[in-house]
Amino acid sequence: MLACRTRLHSILLLCGFLVALPLHAHDRIGSVSHSIVIVRGDAVSYYLNMSPTIAELVKKEVDPNSADFQDYFSSELSVKTWDSECPLAWIEKAAPQPAGNWIVHLRFQCPREVKDLTITSTLFLDLDETHTQFARLASPDDPGTAMREAVLKASNVSFHIPDIRTGGSALGDRALSFFKLGIEHLLSGYDHILFLLTVIIAMSLLDTVKAVTAFTVAHSLTMALAFLNLVSLPSSVVEPLIALTIIYVSVENIVAQNVRKRWLLTGLFGLVHGLGFVGALKVITVSRDELLLSLFSFNVGIEVGQLLVIAISIPALRYLRRRAWDRRFCRGFSQGAAVLGGVWMVQRVFS
C-alpha cells in the first residue's frame, strides 16, 4: 500500500498532550538499593546496601546520628512472622563505601522462631517514587547463596516467603522479576511505543511482521552488547537519537511512495532503541553468574510488551483501513508523531 502523503493542517493536533509526556519516557528504574535477609532462630538480619543516589537523599532527609534515623526505618520497613510483628531491635551503620554506597544492618527480633516471613518495604519511596529494591533471602550457613528473591517497588511492596526452611527457587524468582521489569519498561516507554505505531501504521500485515522482527533482532543484539559493556553510548546521545528515529519514520510516512522495505530501516533503528532499553537494566548490579538470566528475562519481557502493543494495534489499524478517512488519519497521526519526536529531541539535547 502507498505510504501517507503530506497534509500540514493537522500538524498541531496532539501538541498539547504530547509536550506533557515525560522527557525520558522509559526511565522507570530510578534509585536502587539491595538487601540481603538472613534468618537465625527468632532473629532477622536485614543488610541494606543503598546506592550513592539514595544514600545522599536519606542523609538530607534524616540525620543518621539522631533517633529519627531508626524511626524512619521502623516506619517504612515491616517484618512479620506467624502474623506477628517483629520490631526493629537495633540498627548499625557501616562506614560509607569507597564507591559512595552506604550499608546499614537492621536486626529485627521476632516473638518466636521464624518459620514464615513477610517483608513489607516502602523504603525510600517517599524520596523517590521510582525507587527499586532488590531483596534476597540468603542461607544462614552461606550468605552468598540465594534462597528467594523479590523486586520491591511502588507497585509491589511485599516479599512473602511461606517457609524459610525450604526456601524456593531464587532463579525462578529472578527470572520472573526481570521478566516483569521488561514488560513494564516497554509499556511505560512512550517513545518506543510511538516508534512502533509509526512504523506499522502505513504497512501491510506481512511487512509489519518483517519490520518488527528486524527491530526485535537488532535491539536484542545491542542490549546484549551494551549490558556486557562491549558497546557503550551515553544516554545524552541515545535519547535524542531515539526521538530522531520517530521523526524520520513519521516523515517517511508522509512523503514516501513505498515503505515495503522498511524492515531494513527498522533493523538499523532497533540498534539505537536497544541501547535505550538497556539503560534501565544497567543500573542493577548483578554478579556474572546472574547476568545472562537477568538479561534474557528482561529481554523476553520487552518482547512480550512489544507484542501486546502490536496485538492491540493491528486490529484497530485493519478497521481504519476499511474507512474512507484512513489516509487522512495516517497523515494526522504521522504529523503528530513527528511533532512529538521533535519536541522530545530538543528537550533531550538541551536537558
- What tens digit of pLDDT does each residue of 263-312 get? 999 999 999 998 887 766 665 655 555 677 888 898 999 999 999 999 99
Model pTM?
0.75
Pick 227 or 65 by higher pLDDT.
Answer: 65
79 within a domain of the structure (yes/no): yes
Residues 339 and 209 reside in one and the same domain: yes
Q: How many domains does the chain have?
A: 2
Pick 27 or 205 by higher pLDDT.
Answer: 205
Residue 251 domain boundaries: 8-27+188-350
Residues 193 and 339 reside in one and the same domain: yes
Residues 145 and 214 reside in one and the same domain: no
pLDDT surpasses 70 at 167? no
Residues 132 and 279 reside in one and the same domain: no
pLDDT at 13: 42
**Residue 103 binned pLDDT confidence (cut-offs 50, 70, 90):** very high
Residues 12 and 44 reside in one and the same domain: no
Average pLDDT of the chain is: 85
How far apart are alpha carbons 115 and 212 in whole angstroms? 48
Residues 17 and 36 reside in one and the same domain: no
Q: Which triple of cell numbers denotes residue 123?
A: 523504603
Given a contact cutoff of 8 angstroms between Cβ atoms, the answer to whether 244 and 323 are in contact is no
**Residue 321 binned pLDDT confidence (cut-offs 50, 70, 90):** confident
pLDDT at 288: 56
pLDDT at 142: 87
Indicate the burial class of 209 (C-beta count within 10 angstroms; 0-12, 13-18, 19 or more).
middle
Residues 257 and 108 reside in one and the same domain: no
Of 133, 168, 203, the one marking the end of a domain is 168
Q: Give the range with max mean pLDDT: 99-103, 130-134, 190-194, 243-247.
A: 243-247
Of 168, 197, 230, the one marking the end of a domain is 168
Given a contact cutoff of 8 angstroms between Cβ atoms, the answer to whether 11 and 335 are in contact is yes
50 within a domain of the structure (yes/no): yes
Indicate the burial class of 282 (C-beta count within 10 angstroms; 0-12, 13-18, 19 or more).
middle
Residues 333 and 236 reside in one and the same domain: yes
